[in-house]
Structure 1
Amino acid sequence: MAKWTFITNHGLVLGYIARNPKSTARTIAQAVGITERTTHKIIAELEEAGYITRKKVGRQNQYKIDANLPLRHPSHDAVVVGELLQILKWRGAATTKEQMQLL
């Protein structure tokens, strides 16, 4: 039987970015446990939907989250992303790979 989790890969990537806004896709992928290619796809989808913006700083990206956007599921559209990040304690200080692994 496949292992399942409560938080999707999109949520895990968003949470990691919230705590580590200067992370590379490779670092995010390793922390979340997905491929770098999948990470790039998720980042692009989050950016396209407006949940994150990417700013080039030298050779690195710096991400910023729009914490005021609602969650995507219709049953939770009254809850904003920032509230989810606070509940899961994903806003603020940087975290280690071990702390980020929620699986």
Structure 2
Amino acid sequence: MSETLAPSWTFLSRHAQALICIARDPDVRLRDIADLVGVTPRAAQQLVNELRDAGVVRAERRGRRNHYVLVHGHPLHHPLEAEHTVDELLSALAVPHECDGECDR
């Protein structure tokens, strides 16, 4: 009987995984992103900060928590992907999401 082992790699980067967490739940906590992505809370904070610094998401304070907003039409970062947007990636993965305007769906 052969067992199927999970691969040690993934098609999506941790940044993409954090983005998916935010798209699914704009009020997601950093510790929840960390658990879902499989990183420490500090690493999750770094991922979200890098997404924010790149202009992919905005963070708005709501009480003691952050609410994240996806920025409409933001191109993917790598030259091989640059002709596509974050909206297209999320739509291709069937991830329900909201953005700061009409999303490319």
Which structure has the larger Rg?
2
1:86 aligns with 2:77: no
1:37 aligns with 2:71: no
Structure with greater proportional helix content: 1
Give the fraction of aligned pairs with identical amino acids, expressed as a percent.
36
Distance 2:82 2:36 in 1: 28
Higher RCO structure (Cα 8 Å, ≥6 apart): 1
Runs of 4+ in structure 1 off by over 2 angstroms are none
TM-score, normalised via structure 1 length: 0.84
RMSD: 1.1
Tell me the matched-pair count: 91
Structure 1, gaps ≥5 residues long: 93-103
Q: Which amino acid aligns with 1:62?
A: H
Q: Which amino acid aligns with 2:47?
A: I
Structure 2, gaps ≥5 residues long: 1-6, 98-105
1:25 aligns with 2:30: yes
